[in-house]
Chains A and B, each alone.
Chain A
Amino acid sequence: MSSERLLRLYREMYLIRRTEEVIADLYKEQEMRCPVHLCIGQEASPVGVCQELEPADVAFSTHRSHGHYLAKGGSLLALMGELYGRQTGCSAGNGGSMHLIDRAAGFMGATPILGATMALATGAAFATSMRQETRVTVAFFGDAAIEEGVFYESANFAVLKRLPLVLVCENNGLSTCSPLSVRQPPTRTICDMARGLGMTAVSGDGNDVLAVSQLARQAIDIARGGGGPVLIELPTYRWREHCGPGFDFDLGYRHPDELAAWQERCPMQRLVRHMEKTGVADAAALKRCEAEVQQEIDAAVRFARESPYPDESLLLAHEYMP
């Protein structure tokens, strides 16, 4: 992979990481008055997958969607506007963090009822197939979404119709505070289940953006080429609490050592190490890129804070589409 491309991967992961760190820092000001589900530590999945997509390809996501939205090219200004509840937000302030959308970027929408958007993605892929288009649809979701019936129902139909669909399961081992071990049997993997339904299923290192992008490339090629849906399982770890800006070790459901071990596998540090190993690391370029991203984020926060709130007259405005 060219050094330029590696730098771009770094930039995109840094954008997600820094944006969420800034959100976490500013959250205590109580101006972002909506729940936030941060994906710090999980940046390799959205960036690795989205960088393999064509601009016309589309993606759906769930509640932990800031990364997917940004990696697919969603507007940072509109994200911040939305978190601040402003008229300029991507959902005009009606959505908040859990309802991000940027249709121009092919980010079709994110909603938090775990597996629901899997069905929507399957439907978008079905439309593509009915119209004989070549677009690929991606659904991002977590390991708990697999436990909802909608996963089985969507997968069954996607296999039946050989739809151009890529399901990306970010397995961070937790549903809120409930570990995978109390939710799914240890002897069966998520890939086993997907294969049992007739899908191609692959698993890889969810904290290695290069591994993710390679898996995504193959999956997208299969899906676009008429080979039917593919599931990619990406084991990873969320560093922060389930919902909110902080860490939640006081709750006792996980130990700080667990986080420390996963931080050793930080997707950004690993990419930097790879760049160093292959001799393409350019410390000055990384610094420049980080500074640029920080400026963008600062500008987005400023933009959001300066944006007006929606007028009260808009309360009933969007119930129906004209």
Chain B
Amino acid sequence: MKPRTLRYCQAIHEALDLSLARDPSVYVMGLGVPDPKGVFETTLGLAEKFGSQRVLDMPASENGMTGIAIGSALAGMRPVLVHQRLDFAILAMDQMVNQAAKWCYMFGGQQGVPLVVRMIVGRGWGQGSQHAQSLQSWFAHVPGLKVIMPATPHDAKGLLIAAIEDNNPVISIEHRWLFNIEGPVPEGHYREPIGQARVIRPGRDLTIVAVSHMTIESLRAAEVLAEQGIEAEVVDLRTVRPLDRATILQSIAKTSRLVAVDTGWPSCGVSAEIVALAAEGAWSALKAPPVRVTLADCSSPSTPALARRFFPRVHDIVNAGRRVVGLEPLTERAPAAGDPPADVPDNDFRGPF
């Protein structure tokens, strides 16, 4: 029998639905959570099903409400806080970094903060500088936080359930361009382990370590490379902190070549961490300098003309793969009339968010 498939947003919805049903201490809160759009369908109908006490809207008080979620967690609840854009969560850095992340350590391991903060990262369609920041490296820099970035519907469900059941603060960074991706999702309750990467495509010639939406793009790039006779192994990080160093090093040991692909910026970013890991842990295995594929090192432009160069695309990953195996880059053909636009995840996407 063909496995059941869901879209990424439906997988998140199912994780929330199941978690709310299983544990009365779970509640979901965020601006627009019970509204008719249901945070890109991820919370649709949950307020009707579980009541407005457990699935609720909130004032636009990002920092205060994060503290309130933390305080409720200290009193036994398991809050899931939702930000429709990560950029708004920046208002809550004090509560996430000073309070939630530190609580367990600074009080000598007495109490964790079982908090999940979902934050969605935008891309394209003119999102601009304050609606498209992928700041996983900020959060992954902080001891005490866990950071998940599921790329597939299967992991979106399993990792979110694991995050909700974890006794520590977990930042879930969800890329907007993943929400319509369809994939197999088992029925019922299951957890994907936080802190484990996955070899999502095996290959012998090079390792592509990717995260979130860049995992999907890397899989597409690996297909293109395969047509050119290059077999890329794609490691989907899934969790940025704690980082699964063993799986990454194991893959590099096998392929001897590394491309690190991130949805974020290059400076002090996740891709830099992966390359540092390779340098420290797999130096003698490396046969070529690693290559990184990231956002351009500038703020996010709005116009599609510049966004095309700002966001990494399949073509960039393909050329990075060619470079580490010692091949010349391919020239991208100029965009032609009739090409699908480069600033949307798929042809069905009509904006505005």
A-to-B contact residues, CB < 8 Å: 58, 60, 89-95, 99, 101, 103, 108-109, 111, 113, 116, 118-128, 130-131, 149-150, 152-154, 156-157, 160, 317-322
- Smallest CB separation, B52 vs chain A (Å): 11
- Smallest CB separation, B205 vs chain A (Å): 37
Quick check: A127 and B77 within 8 Å, CB to CB? yes
Residue in B63, B167, B168 whose Cβ sees the most chain A Cβ within 10 Å: B63
Quick check: B68 and A157 within 8 Å, CB to CB? yes
Residues of A within 8 A of B54 (CB): 130
Interface residues of B in 51-107 (CB under 8 A from A): 53-54, 58-59, 61, 63-77, 94-95, 98-99, 102-107
Quick check: B64 and A318 within 8 Å, CB to CB? no
Quick check: A119 and B68 within 8 Å, CB to CB? yes
19 A-B residue pairs with Cβ-Cβ distance under 8 Å, sorted by A, are A94-B107, A111-B106, A122-B68, A123-B70, A123-B72, A123-B75, A124-B71, A126-B72, A130-B27, A130-B54, A131-B76, A150-B63, A154-B67, A156-B59, A157-B64, A157-B65, A157-B68, A320-B112, A322-B167
Interface residues of B in 153-211 (CB under 8 A from A): 167-168
Interface residues of B in 246-297 (CB under 8 A from A): none
Residue of A at shortest CB range from B146?
A320
Residue of B at shortest CB range from A128?
B75
> B67, B95, B112: which contacts A321 (Cβ < 8 A)?
B112
Residues of B within 8 A of A60 (CB): 71
Quick check: A119 and B67 within 8 Å, CB to CB? yes
Residues of B within 8 A of A89 (CB): 108
Q: Does B228 contact A (CB under 8 A)?
A: no
Residue of A at shortest CB range from B27?
A130
> B98, B105, B109: which contacts A113 (Cβ < 8 A)?
B98
Known interface pairs A120-B71, A150-B64. Does A109 touch B108 (Cβ–Cβ under 8 Å)?
A: no
Quick check: A94 and B105 within 8 Å, CB to CB? yes
Residues of B within 8 A of A150 (CB): 63-64, 67, 94-95
Quick check: B67 and A319 within 8 Å, CB to CB? no
B-to-A contact residues, CB < 8 Å: 27, 53-54, 58-59, 61, 63-77, 94-95, 98-99, 102-112, 143-144, 146, 167-168
Residues of A within 8 A of B98 (CB): 111, 113, 116
Residues of B within 8 A of A119 (CB): 63-68, 70-71, 95
Bound Cα distance from A317 to B108, whole angstroms? 9
Quick check: B67 and A120 within 8 Å, CB to CB? yes
Quick check: A94 and B106 within 8 Å, CB to CB? yes
Known interface pairs A113-B94, A123-B72. Does A157 touch B61 (Cβ–Cβ under 8 Å)?
A: yes
Residue of A at shortest CB range from B97?
A113
Bound Cα distance from A307 to B207, whole angstroms? 51
Bound Cα distance from A152 to B60, whole angstroms? 12
Bound Cα distance from A119 to B81, whole angstroms? 15
- Smallest CB separation, A113 vs chain B (Å): 5
> B74, B111, B146: which contacts A123 (Cβ < 8 A)?
B74
Known interface pairs A119-B67, A130-B27, A153-B64. Does A320 touch B76 (Cβ–Cβ under 8 Å)?
A: no
Interchain residue pairs A-B with the least CB separation, the first 9: A123-B71, A119-B67, A153-B64, A321-B112, A92-B108, A318-B109, A153-B61, A120-B71, A127-B75
Bound Cα distance from A317 to B64, whole angstroms? 29
Quick check: A130 and B107 within 8 Å, CB to CB? no
Residues of B within 8 A of A320 (CB): 104, 112, 144, 146, 167-168
Bound Cα distance from A321 to B61, whole angstroms? 28
Bound Cα distance from A127 to B105, whole angstroms? 23
Quick check: A154 and B168 within 8 Å, CB to CB? no
Residues of A within 8 A of B108 (CB): 89-95, 318
Bound Cα distance from A101 to B66, whole angstroms? 21
Bound Cα distance from A93 to B54, whole angstroms? 37
Residue of A at shortest CB range from B58?
A157
- Smallest CB separation, A139 vs chain B (Å): 9
Bound Cα distance from A267 to B61, whole angstroms? 38
Residues of B within 8 A of A90 (CB): 107-108
Known interface pairs A127-B77, A130-B77, A153-B59. Does A92 touch B65 (Cβ–Cβ under 8 Å)?
A: no
Quick check: B107 and A99 within 8 Å, CB to CB? yes
Quick check: A91 and B144 within 8 Å, CB to CB? no
